[in-house]
């Protein structure tokens, strides 16, 4: 066993018995590289990554390749989910050096000071696919290190300057881009795939921050086009093969442009984002797909509870794309296999509904289930009642799911990441309000309590844990996502301990991450390990922008608590990114959403009085999406001074509605409250 055996990352432990002399990222590896004057071979991946497994089997488990690696390099293995700071830097460096996109596995050769001088992604052991063989590449890189040291040093200096140039710089007097929301919507409309949904072609990713922005524009502005972007994309994804039609939940992306065949890994962060989107869409008007969207949301929740939940309430990270060494083997079917499992009536409906009567859609040899025909059309073609068709497809799904459950399961990455758990907590809390699912709220609060219990130590967050062992200095995303999760929790079930925790998280965010001079938030804290670059991320990636989420969380808490420090920090961040948003708003949906909240503060509604009465008002308000309205059911809680708006109701409920620094007189009836909020929206 090499040095990875004691790590918390399942991905690193997968490589613990490789013949490669792996080190985890850390000073020990760099000290050895300096002492032996060797370059570092950095390999970055994650446990659910198919091509990471392929490269591991071909090269890292091969004695000949391992010998070449051990002879000429100090080898470092990184889980990109535990060390997003390292991954972010070297993915960007790869893009600058190669002028093409990166991905995983990421393979980078570094100097002992951490400067990259050659980078790629997957390399086969022997040359193919137009790629050089890894076994041929290793001695060439080692020779370059021995013979071209001066050129490598010059390139390293240039690369550090190039990385620094990518960060936003303060533009004194820069105006906030007031038209950013309208321009972003125009950009989304220009790239929207009106037939299949989503944006652009294959491979196709959900881009949930963009869809959530479009949904908010559809509801808040009454934009039919924006609603179509969100609802049509969500419908096509829910009907597609990216959606697990039997077990619920969504895969990371579709390899085609029609959402039919996914890359089969299932990530917590994707499903958290999609849960919030589908719950909102199920409550929104104007698209006629509420049942489909509610079912998709419910499927995500059931999958999380069934397969991804730790005993202590935390939520695991991902499921592998592979099982039995093959991508998708757990999920795909042979038509004959399905026919043998179902009776004649079930098969007649299921085959037409899921496209088993068409050509195979997975590698020309198997079927990945996707909705090929609406069930009503199938019923009409077979001459049966629609209710009978629904019953038959339901029994078929149950039989297929039971049979699939007996297969060899994909690997589970059972580490608990703070940032991804925060995204899931926020989504579960939101879904519980939107769809009146109290059990969903129970899951959210169990995960929140586990996060506070394990990841919050001595006034700081830790990034990851395995079982009881939590470690690694947390990143901006951990703090920002947790702050937003706490606001969603407070808007679901108001607990004073969550409010106090939100204040602690916000204060730590400002103290540990804010650039007090130029504005915005660094991805790593002020006391973090020194790396070759320190980033201030504003662009949405697979997860929403840390700076955007920080601004959203600070704006929400700032108006709830009446704390100007939080609002000022959010505004400084938005002003820092303002010129970039103004230049091109695409990719900045989270920051643009925060900009809208800054320009028009949310209406904070405190519902006080008898708990049964305030709960009824709260449930009634949640029956409709009201962008920019933050309702908190505080019932009869004895609030701290900064939250008190006035005397509690003698009987029943009372609502205090405040916007910015102005509060309306207490509202004593639910119809009056609705009228006030409707007038605000119009």
The secondary structure of 349-414 as a DSSP string is: HHHHHHTTTS---BTTTBB-----S-HHHHHHHHT--HHHHHHHHHHHHHHHHHHHHTSPPPPEE-
Buried b / exposed e along 458-472 (16+ C-beta atoms within 10 A): eebbbbbbbeeebeb
Query: DSSP H helical segments within 8-49, as ranges?
Result: 10-14, 27-36
Question: Burial of 364 by CB count in 10 Å (0-12 exposed, 13-18 middle, 19+ buried)?
Answer: exposed
> What is the distance, to the nearest Å, from the Cα of residue 415 to the centroid of all Cα atoms in its chain?
16
Rounded to whole angstroms, the Cα distance separating 201 from 184 reads: 19
Residues whose CB falls within 8 Å of the CB of residue 577, separated by 6 or more in sequence, listed in order:
168, 520, 538, 547, 588, 591
- What is the residue extent of each domain of the chain? 10-165, 180-323+413-599, 331-406, 603-681
Could you identify the residue written with the tokens 């795939």? 193
Buried b / exposed e along 365-392 (16+ C-beta atoms within 10 A): ebbbbbbbbebeebbeeeebeeeebeeb
Cis ω for the linkage preceding 203 (within 30 of 0)? yes
pLDDT at site 78:
98
pLDDT at site 145:
98
pLDDT at site 649:
62
* CA angle, residues 558, 561, 566, in degrees to nearest 5: 25
The low-confidence residues of the chain, meaning pLDDT below 70, are 172-173, 286-288, 648-650, 682
Cis ω for the linkage preceding 105 (within 30 of 0)? yes
E strand spans, 101-240: 106-110, 116-120
Buried b / exposed e along 208-247 (16+ C-beta atoms within 10 A): bbbbbbbbbbbbbeebeebbbbbbbbbbbbbbbbbbbbbb
DSSP secondary structure code for residue 667 in this structure:
B
E strand spans, 259-337: 262-263, 266-267, 318-319, 322-323, 326-327
Residues whose CB falls within 8 Å of the CB of residue 40, separated by 6 or more in sequence, listed in order:
29, 30, 33, 73, 74, 75, 76, 109, 110, 111, 112, 114
pLDDT at site 646:
80
pLDDT at site 17:
97
Rounded to whole angstroms, the Cα distance separating 7 from 465 reads: 10
Chain segment 524-534, per-residue pLDDT in tens: 999 999 999 99
Q: Which tokens hold the place of 370?
A: 């996707």
Q: Hey, how many other C-beta atoms are within 10 angstroms of the C-beta on 328?
A: 22
Rounded to whole angstroms, the Cα distance separating 174 from 240 reads: 44
pLDDT at site 289:
84
Fold of 10-165: Glutaredoxin (3.40.30)
pLDDT at site 286:
62
- Under a CB-based contact definition with an 8 Å cutoff, are residues 14 and 56 in contact? yes
pLDDT at site 651:
83
Nearest C-alpha neighbor of 518 from the set 131, 172, 129? 172
Q: Given 3.60.15.10, 1.10.10.10, 1.10.1370.10, 3.40.1160.10, which CATH number is that of 331-406?
A: 1.10.10.10
Rounded to whole angstroms, the Cα distance separating 630 from 643 reads: 14
pLDDT at site 174:
77
DSSP notation for 497-508: HHHHHHHHHHHH
Could you identify the residue written with the tokens 């949310």? 602
- Give CB contacts under 8 A, 24+ apart, made by 163-168: 163/89, 163/92, 163/93, 163/96, 163/532, 163/533, 164/533, 166/92, 166/535, 167/535, 167/536, 168/520, 168/536, 168/538, 168/576, 168/577, 168/579, 168/580
Q: How are beta strands 74-79 and 40-45 bridged, if at all?
A: parallel
pLDDT at site 173:
65
Q: Which tokens hold the place of 635?
A: 């019932």
Q: Is 92 helix (H, G, I), strand (E, B) or coil?
A: helix
Please state which CATH number belongs to domain 180-323+413-599: 1.50.10.10
Rounded to whole angstroms, the Cα distance separating 63 from 138 reads: 14
- Under a CB-based contact definition with an 8 Å cutoff, are residues 521 and 536 in contact? yes
Reported as type and span, the H/E element at residue 472 is: strand 469-473
pLDDT at site 172:
66
Rounded to whole angstroms, the Cα distance separating 604 from 633 reads: 11
């Amino acid at each position: 066993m090499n040095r990875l055996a004691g790590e918390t990352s399942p991905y690193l432990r997968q490589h613990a018995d490789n013949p490669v002399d792996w080190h985890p990222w850390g000073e020990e590896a760099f000290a050895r590289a300096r002492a032996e004057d060797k370059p570092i071979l950095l390999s970055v991946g994650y446990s659910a990554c198919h091509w990471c497994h392929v490269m591991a089997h071909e090269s890292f488990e091969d004695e000949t390749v391992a010998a070449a690696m051990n002879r000429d390099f100090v080898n470092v293995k990184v889980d990109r989910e535990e060390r997003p700071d390292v991954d972010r830097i070297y993915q960007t460096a790869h893009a600058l050096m190669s002028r093409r996109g990166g991905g995983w596995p990421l393979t980078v050769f570094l100097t002992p000071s951490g400067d990259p001088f050659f980078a790629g992604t997957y390399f086969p052991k022997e040359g193919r696919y137009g790629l050089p063989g890894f076994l041929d590449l290793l001695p060439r890189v080692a020779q370059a290190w021995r013979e071209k040291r001066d050129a490598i040093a010059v390139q390293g200096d240039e690369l550090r300057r190039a990385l620094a140039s990518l960060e936003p710089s303060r533009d004194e007097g820069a105006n906030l881009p007031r038209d950013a929301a309208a321009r972003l919507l125009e950009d989304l409309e220009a790239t929207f795939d009106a037939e299949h949904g989503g944006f652009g072609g294959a491979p196709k990713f959900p881009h949930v921050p963009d869809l959530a922005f479009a949904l908010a524009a559809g509801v808040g502005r009454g934009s039919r086009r924006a609603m179509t972007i969100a609802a049509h994309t969500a419908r096509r994804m829910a009907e597609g093969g990216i959606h697990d039609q039997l077990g619920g939940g969504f895969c990371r992306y579709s390899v085609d442009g029609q959402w039919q065949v996914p890359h089969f890994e299932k990530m917590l962060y994707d499903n958290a984002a999609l849960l919030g989107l589908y719950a909102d869409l199920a409550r929104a008007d104007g698209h006629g797909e509420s049942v489909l969207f509610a079912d998709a949301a419910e499927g995500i929740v059931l999958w999380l509870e069934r397969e991804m939940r730790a005993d202590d309430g935390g939520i695991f990270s991902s499921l592998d794309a592979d099982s039995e060494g093959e991508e998708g083997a757990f999920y795909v079917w042979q038509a004959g296999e399905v026919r043998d499992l179902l009776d004649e009536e079930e098969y007649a409906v299921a085959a037409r509904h899921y496209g088993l009567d068409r050509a195979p859609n997975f590698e020309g040899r198997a079927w990945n289930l996707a909705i090929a025909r609406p069930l009503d059309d199938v019923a009409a073609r077979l001459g049966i009642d629609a209710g009978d068709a629904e019953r038959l497809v339901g029994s078929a799904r149950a039989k297929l799911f039971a049979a699939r459950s007996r297969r060899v399961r994909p690997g589970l990455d059972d580490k608990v990441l703070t940032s991804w758990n925060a995204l899931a907590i926020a989504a579960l809390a939101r879904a519980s309000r939107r769809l009146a699912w109290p059990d969903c709220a129970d899951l959210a609060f169990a995960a929140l309590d586990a996060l506070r219990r394990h990841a919050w130590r001595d006034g700081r967050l830790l990034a990851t844990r395995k079982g009881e062992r939590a470690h690694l200095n947390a990143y901006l995303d951990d703090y920002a996502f947790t702050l937003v999760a706490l606001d969603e929790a407070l808007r679901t079930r108001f607990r004073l301990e969550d409010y106090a925790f939100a204040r602690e998280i916000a204060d730590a965010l400002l103290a540990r991450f804010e650039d007090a001079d130029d504005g915005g938030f660094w991805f790593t804290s002020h006391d973090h390990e020194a790396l070759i670059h320190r980033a201030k991320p504003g662009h949405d990636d697979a997860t929403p922008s840390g700076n955007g989420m920080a601004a959203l969380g600070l704006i929400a808490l700032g108006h709830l608590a009446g704390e100007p420090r939080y609002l000022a920090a959010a505004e400084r961040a938005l002003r820092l990114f303002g010129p970039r948003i103004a230049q091109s708003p695409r990719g900045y949906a989270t920051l643009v959403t925060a900009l809208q909240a800054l320009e028009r503060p949310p209406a904070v509604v405190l519902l006080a009085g008898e708990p049964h009465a305030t709960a009824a008002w709260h449930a009634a308000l949640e029956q409709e999406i009201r962008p920019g309205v933050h309702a908190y059911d505080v019932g009869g809680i004895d609030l701290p001074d900064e939250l008190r708006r006035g005397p509690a109701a003698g009987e029943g409920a009372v609502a205090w509605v405040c916007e910015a620094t102005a509060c309306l007189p207490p509202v004593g009836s639910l119809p009056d409250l609705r009228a006030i909020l409707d007038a605000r929206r119009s």
